[in-house]
Chain A
């Protein structure tokens, strides 16, 4: 598969600093571009203005929550991975009903969380066969 990691972008819409550090670092080490915004409005603008491959959004995001962000995106938008706290099954079900591609609960194992994001990138790459980074291709 074509290797061009610098053209693969994962937008982190995360207010929670440790989550952003942990996920952002792993994704950057895999060669991805990982811009970060800290509120839902900024995330919405960024998705509309730039070419984003996957969005990782916190459920409890200021400005526009992760679920509101998901609802506001058109059907051809990038897949959205939501990050929420463990123990709220209703929220997880609602997220999937609204079209979330994945749901990661906190606390998470960074390796597993990145594997879930990786899966979304692969689906995205399959739907739009331009590029997927070698580091994220199936081992």
Chain B
């Protein structure tokens, strides 16, 4: 049995000694890591609190400027140059929300910080250049229009796309040709985004878009964008040109550029007149379903009772349910629901479709 205290360490084997020291060292390291982790956590929370407080102060300052209670210069002076990047990021969503005098005031606040941004227009990384273009376009306005125009030649499509959108937003119709000239580089961009940007150039740019639509040297993408922009502009002068292009297409049933034809049909539905139905009708026989859809919808807007048999035939017999649905809607638009009532009351396979389209019986 034990007769006194055990000389624990001195008599332990060397292996046990190593284990004891290793345990002590690991415990000490764990404590150090725990203290560091806690410190980092507290530091990041403090940073987040500081950031929130800074943004709150900026928001209050900006709202004071917009309310006319503080000058843009005085507010800009209160912002540290070291916070420039964060401050401009803070301003961007406000600049995209307002227009007119409020936008001019936000631009005045941003002005002292923008020359440093302009220096990054030629940075090595496309992302940095694109961000610079975005900020200069939104927060700099016309003062940086020439710098944005130069970026239309940027090797990066991302930068070109951003420059196109920001330049278009400045609303100078004389930029229309320049912007159309770079569209071929942006074919991966959503066409609606392109159209929405070009729309900002306004009605004065319509003649340029009409010329682009008529120019068969241009790509289909550019011509479709031009057609869509004219449609959104509601440019009635584009109707004659669109009708001519539809009439002159080599073969309506197998149009080589169905996307362009669909764009023309959408345009003519919006701005055309009843005299254009002769140009639309042949496309009801197109091999491409979405061309037939747009032809049917155009007839619904431009046609009269004479179109009833053609549209009714599409409802009954077209292979595509979507074409049949479009034709049914057009019959209603023309005020000719008779064929739909007859189909609904029959055992025709499209009876349910006719029922869906017709208003519910009172």
Binding site for B on A (CB under 8 A): 16-19, 21-22, 25-26, 29, 87, 106-112
Contact = CB atoms under 8 A, between A and B. Distances in A.
A102 B233 CA distance: 23
Nearest to B98: A107
Contacts of B100: 109, 111-112
A97 to B, nearest CB: 15
A87 B196 contact: yes
A110 B66 contact: yes
Contacts of B199: 87
Given A87-B196, A107-B103, A111-B101, A18 B94 contact: yes
B102 interface: yes
Given A22-B63, A87-B196, A87-B232, A110 B98 contact: yes
A18 B59 CA distance: 9
Contacts of B59: 21
B3 interface: no
Interface of B: 59, 63, 66-67, 93-94, 96-103, 196, 199, 232
29 contacts: A16-B97, A17-B93, A18-B94, A18-B97, A21-B59, A21-B94, A22-B94, A22-B97, A22-B102, A25-B66, A87-B196, A87-B199, A106-B97, A107-B97, A107-B98, A107-B99, A107-B103, A108-B97, A108-B98, A108-B99, A109-B98, A109-B100, A109-B101, A109-B102, A110-B98, A110-B102, A111-B100, A111-B102, A112-B100
Nearest to B93: A18
Given A87-B232, A110-B102, 5 more contacts: A18-B96, A25-B63, A25-B67, A108-B97, A111-B100
A113 to B, nearest CB: 9
Nearest to B234: A89
B66 A22 contact: yes
A22 B67 CA distance: 10
Contacts of B103: 107
List 5 A-B pairs, minimum CB-CB distance, nearest first: A109-B100, A107-B99, A18-B97, A25-B63, A18-B93
A26 B85 CA distance: 27
A19 B95 CA distance: 11
A17 B63 CA distance: 13
Contact of B97 (A19, A25, A87): A19
Contacts of A112: 100
Contacts of A25: 63, 66-67
Contacts of B99: 107-109
A12 B28 CA distance: 55
A112 B94 CA distance: 16
A25 B306 CA distance: 58
A45 B102 CA distance: 33
A17 B96 CA distance: 12
A26 B101 CA distance: 14
**Which of A29, A106, A107, A111 is packed against the most chain B CB atoms within 10 Å?**
A107
Nearest to A109: B100
A17 B196 CA distance: 23
Contacts of A19: 97
B106 to A, nearest CB: 10
- Among B66, B96, B97, which residue has the most Cβ atoms of chain A within 10 A? B97
A109 B199 CA distance: 19
A120 B182 CA distance: 45
B196 A107 contact: no
B307 to A, nearest CB: 23
Nearest to A29: B67
Contacts of A18: 93-94, 96-97
Given A87-B196, A87-B199, A107-B96, A21 B63 contact: yes
A47 B220 CA distance: 51
A123 to B, nearest CB: 25
Nearest to A19: B97
A106 B98 CA distance: 7
A17 B59 CA distance: 11
Nearest to B195: A87
Nearest to A24: B63
B170 to A, nearest CB: 13
A16 B97 CA distance: 9
A25 B70 CA distance: 14
Question: Which of B59, B67, B99, B196 has the largest count of A CB atoms less than 10 A from its CB?
Answer: B99
